[in-house]
Amino acid sequence: MNYREKSEKLEKMVEQMENDDLTLEEMVALYEKSTALYKELEKDLSSLEQKVRILTDGMEKKEEDDESI
Protein backbone atom coordinates (compact mmCIF):
# COMPACT_ATOMS: atom_id res chain seq x y z
CA MET A 1 0.00 0.00 0.00
CA ASN A 2 1.24 3.47 -0.78
CA TYR A 3 0.96 6.50 1.51
CA ARG A 4 -2.36 7.67 0.09
CA GLU A 5 -3.95 4.23 0.38
CA LYS A 6 -2.76 3.87 3.97
CA SER A 7 -4.05 7.32 4.83
CA GLU A 8 -7.47 6.58 3.32
CA LYS A 9 -7.63 3.26 5.16
CA LEU A 10 -6.81 4.98 8.45
CA GLU A 11 -9.48 7.59 7.81
CA LYS A 12 -12.07 4.85 7.21
CA MET A 13 -11.00 3.08 10.40
CA VAL A 14 -11.47 6.28 12.39
CA GLU A 15 -14.88 6.86 10.82
CA GLN A 16 -15.85 3.29 11.66
CA MET A 17 -14.83 3.79 15.28
CA GLU A 18 -16.84 7.02 15.43
CA ASN A 19 -19.98 5.84 13.66
CA ASP A 20 -20.45 2.09 14.09
CA ASP A 21 -21.91 0.21 16.98
CA LEU A 22 -18.85 -1.81 17.87
CA THR A 23 -18.34 -4.00 20.85
CA LEU A 24 -15.59 -2.98 23.20
CA GLU A 25 -13.44 -5.84 21.91
CA GLU A 26 -13.99 -4.77 18.28
CA MET A 27 -13.23 -1.17 19.18
CA VAL A 28 -9.96 -2.12 20.89
CA ALA A 29 -8.92 -4.36 17.97
CA LEU A 30 -9.66 -1.58 15.48
CA TYR A 31 -7.82 0.92 17.66
CA GLU A 32 -4.74 -1.34 17.73
CA LYS A 33 -4.81 -1.72 13.94
CA SER A 34 -5.28 2.01 13.40
CA THR A 35 -2.43 2.83 15.78
CA ALA A 36 -0.10 0.47 13.92
CA LEU A 37 -1.15 1.99 10.60
CA TYR A 38 -0.58 5.50 11.96
CA LYS A 39 2.97 4.52 12.97
CA GLU A 40 3.58 3.18 9.45
CA LEU A 41 2.36 6.48 8.00
CA GLU A 42 4.68 8.45 10.29
CA LYS A 43 7.61 6.27 9.22
CA ASP A 44 6.71 6.64 5.53
CA LEU A 45 6.36 10.41 5.87
CA SER A 46 9.70 10.70 7.65
CA SER A 47 11.37 8.71 4.88
CA LEU A 48 9.79 10.87 2.19
CA GLU A 49 10.80 14.07 4.00
CA GLN A 50 14.38 12.82 4.15
CA LYS A 51 14.37 12.12 0.41
CA VAL A 52 13.07 15.62 -0.29
CA ARG A 53 15.79 17.11 1.94
CA ILE A 54 18.47 15.16 0.08
CA LEU A 55 17.11 16.31 -3.28
CA THR A 56 16.78 19.91 -2.11
CA ASP A 57 20.30 19.93 -0.68
CA GLY A 58 21.59 18.52 -3.97
CA MET A 59 19.82 21.24 -5.94
CA GLU A 60 21.16 23.98 -3.65
CA LYS A 61 24.70 22.59 -3.97
CA LYS A 62 24.37 22.53 -7.77
CA GLU A 63 23.15 26.15 -7.76
CA GLU A 64 26.10 27.18 -5.58
CA ASP A 65 28.50 25.39 -7.91
CA ASP A 66 26.90 27.05 -10.95
CA GLU A 67 27.19 30.50 -9.32
CA SER A 68 30.89 30.02 -8.60
CA ILE A 69 31.66 29.43 -12.27
Higher local confidence (pLDDT), 67 or 25: 25
User: What's the pLDDT band for 69 if we cut at 50, 70, 90?
Assistant: low
Residues in the chain: 69
**Distance of alpha carbon 48 from its chain centroid, rounded?**
9
Q: What is the mean pLDDT of the chain?
A: 90
pTM for this model (two decimals): 0.75
Which pLDDT value is given to residue 5?
97
Sequence ranges of the domains in the chain: 10-67
Please calculate the CA angle 11-17-21 and round it to the nearest 5 degrees: 145
